[in-house]
Structure 1
Amino acid sequence: MSKKLLIGAGLALSLLFTPFNQAFAEKPTVGERKQVENVAHRGAAGYAPENTIAAYDLAVDMKADYIEIDVQRSKDGELVSIHDTTVDRTTDGTGKVGDLTLEQLKSLDAGSWKGEQFTGEQIPTFEEILDRYHGKVGILIELKAPEYYPGIEEQVAELIKERNLDKPQNKKIIIQSFNFESMKKMNQLLPQVQIGVLTSNRAHTTMDALKEFSTYADWFNPSYGIVTKELVNQVHANDMKIGSWTVRSQEAADFLFEMKVDAIISDYPDYVDPRN
């Protein structure tokens, strides 16, 4: 529409095209929002203690498509879900995850720091999570600092195979890490399971880097601070999907919808799913 026509149409029509109304009109529809995978970061971590059953259960209740979990290993070789390489921040204990036995880890209170109602929440094991949630919700598995735990890739692969989650019909398992060599290994161990690479480094967004990632990864998952429409298009051109993290505001979620990413990884699943 020309400028002359806009002026001639009168005040009422001109108001229709104010920046506010244009922005409102460009917001994604409910249908478009549902096409984006809603990934609950460490569970619904905005509302419940991260990486606990309480947070994962809430994420399921909030209709998340995936729960994102962090996997490390105890001193006695058991896989557990916790983000930090120490227990200090999210439990009432101290020490490195890898220096504590499963019994010691299970004895810690991983919930009361978030609220009295979560007192007694435990650090869950990887097997507990697989058995409780597979078939109910997708599981995005992050290998946290796998360089600290030699052989963790084989251990994760074995537990997934035991539950037949490595089969092509089960597309709701994704394994990701900041450690690219670890993901190359996971791709070899579980060639039919989706693999993701994590980064917040712009150096990893070049065409050459994306082409290399695409040789073993299905997902390129950057921090939202480096996401652009050009990057999304380049990721798609390399036959990968893009999921971005970590959303902690409605504005950040809306930005990623505008960028047309394939998944939004958020502490607040209700920022992503219009049904909440």
Structure 2
Amino acid sequence: MTTLAPWPYPRWVAHRGAGKLAPENTLSAFRLGAQYGYRFFECDAKLSKDGVLFLMHDAELERTTNGHGTGSDLTMGEIAQLDAGSWHSRAYAGEQLPTLEALARWCLANQLQLNVEIKPTPGQELETGRACGALMNRIWPQDRTPPLFTSFKPASLQGAKEVAPHIPRGLLVDKLADGTGDIDLQTALDLGCSAMVLNHELWTAELVTKVHAAGLHCSSYTVNDAWAAQRLIDLGTDGIITDRVDLFSPAQTGPGL
């Protein structure tokens, strides 16, 4: 059995800033999450046409901006002109999609922690991971708790590992492997991951024990119900990503939601 290292991050993670209470992946969302007391934030990062990392979940622009087509086909200057708030509510009309650097510097200035989901446009998996690693090498102080890189794409985690091997990595998993009823733990181990981040419904006591025994931490997305959060706490998992920053207090560290 491998010894499980201490987990340097808070249990509660605010999804895309403030979940659904503000337009996702905008600075307004992260500020709102901080107002609810959250200290650890998840975001999605991808590359613009001119190689700048910006925040957006989807490859396509239509759902969360007034733009059209693929976000990575635009330069950062063009992306910055998009309205990324009106889709959510009139209160956020004109909100911009920030760069990952802007969010990281905001986190540093406010003593907050950051989970960067490397969310590459298809075909840019390796280079997006490398770009994330290079950015954090440049701006994130060595004496601060490092950000956490996560991705569904092993190639993106490999790229981050090549450039910034000291920054912890977590493999995201949405479903069990076909025919085995198990998770792809070996891929996470081959990538030198510190965590596996599963669809919360997949965790069982047996899986938690297996992952912990391999020396990896157990985190979950996206947990929006009290019963689900309590189940994960009872199972002994380490991290909970939630949209419901208004429902869960980040001060909660144990049973008794």
TM-score scaled by length of structure 2: 0.85
Aligned to 2:136: 160
Q: Does 1:231 align with 2:190?
A: no
Rounded to whole Å, the distance in 1 between the matches of 2:136 and 2:10 is 25
Aligned AA (1:145) = P
Structure 1 runs not aligned, ≥5 long? 1-34
Tell me, yes or no, if the aligned pair for 1:232 and 1:242 is still in contact at 8 Å: yes
Distance 1:164 1:46, change over 3 A: closer
Tell me, yes or no, if the aligned pair for 2:59 and 2:70 is still in contact at 8 Å: yes
- Structure 1 residue 55, shift from structure 2 partner: 0.7
Aligned to 1:209: 184
- Structure 1 residue 225, shift from structure 2 partner: 1.6
For residues 103-142 of structure 1, the aligned pairs below 5 Å read 103-134=77-108, 136-142=111-117
Structure 2 counterpart of 1:143, from 118, 121, 124:
118
Aligned to 1:31: none
Rounded to whole Å, the distance in 2 between the matches of 1:134 and 1:274 is 19
Tell me, yes or no, if the aligned pair for 2:130 and 2:162 is still in contact at 8 Å: no
Distance 1:270 1:230, change over 3 A: farther
- Structure 1 residue 162, shift from structure 2 partner: 1.3
Distance 1:36 1:171, change over 3 A: closer
Aligned to 1:40: 14
Aligned AA (2:243) = D
- Structure 1 residue 274, shift from structure 2 partner: 6.0
Query: Looking at CA atoms only, which structure, 1 or 2, has the larger radius of gyration?
Result: 1
- Structure 1 residue 269, shift from structure 2 partner: 2.4
For residues 1-276 of structure 1, the aligned pairs below 5 Å read 37-134=11-108, 136-145=111-120, 147-149=122-124, 151-165=127-141, 167=142, 169-203=143-177, 209-215=184-190, 216-273=192-249
- Farther-moved stretch of structure 1 (104-113 vs 246-255): 246-255
Aligned AA (1:148) = G
Tell me, yes or no, if the aligned pair for 2:38 and 2:250 is still in contact at 8 Å: no
Aligned AA (1:115) = S
- SS of the aligned residue for 2:193 comes to coil
- Structure 1 residue 208, shift from structure 2 partner: 8.3
TM-score scaled by length of structure 1: 0.80
- Structure 1 residue 131, shift from structure 2 partner: 1.1
Tell me, yes or no, if the aligned pair for 1:171 and 1:194 is still in contact at 8 Å: no
- Structure 1 residue 251, shift from structure 2 partner: 2.6
C-alpha RMSD over aligned residues: 2.3
- Farther-moved stretch of structure 1 (187-196 vs 47-56): 187-196
Deviations 1:103-124 (A, max 9, x none): 2211111112211111111101
Tell me, yes or no, if the aligned pair for 1:40 and 1:269 is still in contact at 8 Å: yes
Deviations 1:118-153 (A, max 9, x none): 111110111111111125211000111365325222
Aligned AA (1:246) = T
Higher helix share: 1
- Structure 1 residue 240, shift from structure 2 partner: 0.6
- Structure 1 residue 163, shift from structure 2 partner: 1.6
Deviations 1:221-273 (A, max 9, x none): 00012111111111111111111001122232222222221000001124332
Deviations 1:165-195 (A, max 9, x none): 4x3x432410010011221232232221110
- Structure 1 residue 214, shift from structure 2 partner: 2.5
Tell me, yes or no, if the aligned pair for 2:17 and 2:25 is still in contact at 8 Å: yes
Structure 2 runs not aligned, ≥5 long? 1-8, 253-257
Rounded to whole Å, the distance in 2 between the matches of 1:144 and 1:173 is 15
Rounded to whole Å, the distance in 2 between the matches of 1:223 and 1:113 is 26
- Farther-moved stretch of structure 1 (86-95 vs 203-212): 203-212
Rounded to whole Å, the distance in 2 between the matches of 1:45 and 1:208 is 27
